[in-house]
Structure 1
Amino acid sequence: MNRVPALTIAVLAAVAPLFALGTERFVGLAPCALCLWQRWPYWVAAALAVLAALTRGRWLLSLAGLAVLVSAGIAALHIGVEQGWWPSPLPSCQAPTATLGLSVDDMLKAMSAKPDKPCDAPSFLIPGLPVSMAQMNFVYAAVVGGLALRWSVQQGRRGV
């Protein structure tokens, strides 16, 4: 198996969560819980792709592609939450609500120091462009995952 496709997928998989972290640190975009969940499959994919390059195992490259597609699936779920098509399955995605019977002081003490961003509030990287970070991730993950699977199949056809 040619190592270049596997190493390319490893780099592309690692770039996505690093880019998201960069937008968080340097642009000030706050991630929600679903945003953070979308990053994990990329790290798994990067590790699998590196193993594929080292062992020349094309099945590992296929698994890396499937891991990236898991991120696309989470992004699709996130897009639906952003659009109001369905509620988020994660309780940490909900905006804080007041509880009856508690005093204002008790409610303030119960709040986290840094409020979580609700998952139904989309983050936009480019002002004026109505494409959320979740939508961008969906497209990116679909392309990278599809590319990994295509290259894996091509490696199998070559008999390598």
Structure 2
Amino acid sequence: MLAGAGSAALLAAALTFQSLGYAPCELCILQRWPHLAAAIIAALMAVLGWRRWLALLGLIAAATAFGFAVYHTGVEMKLWLGPQHCSGGVSGLATMSTGDLMAALEKAPVVRCDEISWSLFGISMAGWNAICSAGLTALWAACLRGRKRVAGLA
């Protein structure tokens, strides 16, 4: 339950930042999906009493969120390239007509994945998500390990 609540808290924090005017980029939105899955998994565990596979599914969701957050953090730090359509790149720029260029610019997202819009102690939102997701991954793993121990004792 605590791990699911942690994912719900990260989602709430992301939505709070969004309500404060920090529009999410494509990678920010991608990072939300695994946390949503983990929060739903925890809710199902509480409401329906499903326990057999839920810790494993929660672990997979949190580890996926961690992977997305590390990838996004690397894009922000310019360690590797992000998706071209949200990292400022426009392919075929040299061969585009003025009209095609204007059309591409109008379709381009406003929020870039490779720019940090907010940070705390030098760590971006994606970096904080990676840190929190790593903790949640460890918590889900502990839940899974504890479940195996209890099953082994029965």
TM-score, normalised via structure 1 length: 0.79
Question: Out of 104, 122, 125, which is 1:130 matched to?
Answer: 122
Could you list the runs of 5+ residues in structure 1 that have no partner in the other structure? Answer: 1-6
What SS is found at the alignment partner of 1:148?
helix
Output one character per residue of 1:44-64: Cα deviation in whole Å (capped at 9) or x when no partner.
111122223323414212211
Deviation at 1:35, TM superposition (A): 0.9
Question: Out of 97, 105, 125, which is 1:102 matched to?
Answer: 97
Change (3 A) 1:142 1:16: same
Q: Which one is further off, 10-19 or 108-117?
A: 108-117
Deviation at 1:16, TM superposition (A): 1.0
Deviation at 1:119, TM superposition (A): 1.3
What SS is found at the alignment partner of 1:111?
helix
The answer to whether structure 1 residue 75 and structure 2 residue 69 are counterparts is yes
What SS is found at the alignment partner of 2:113?
coil
Deviation at 1:143, TM superposition (A): 0.3
- Assess if the C-alpha contact under 8 Å between 2:85 and 2:108 holds in 1: no
Counterpart residue identity of residue 116, structure 2: P
The answer to whether structure 1 residue 142 and structure 2 residue 134 are counterparts is yes
Distance 2:38 2:148 in 1: 19
Cα RMSD (Å): 2.3
How many residue pairs get matched?
A: 149
Could you list the runs of 5+ residues in structure 2 that have no partner in the other structure? Answer: none
Identity of aligned residues (%): 30
Q: Which one is further off, 51-60 or 129-138?
A: 51-60
Deviation at 1:101, TM superposition (A): 4.5
Output one character per residue of 1:81-124: Cα deviation in whole Å (capped at 9) or x when no partner.
11211111x23322164565423x66445434784322111232
Q: Matches of residues 17-56 of structure 1 in structure 2 within 5 Å?
A: 17-26=11-20, 28-53=21-46, 54-56=48-50
- Assess if the C-alpha contact under 8 Å between 1:58 and 1:156 holds in 2: no
Distance 1:91 1:22 in 2: 27
Distance 1:73 1:67 in 2: 10
Distance 1:94 1:117 in 2: 9
Change (3 A) 1:23 1:125: farther
- 2:84 maps to 91
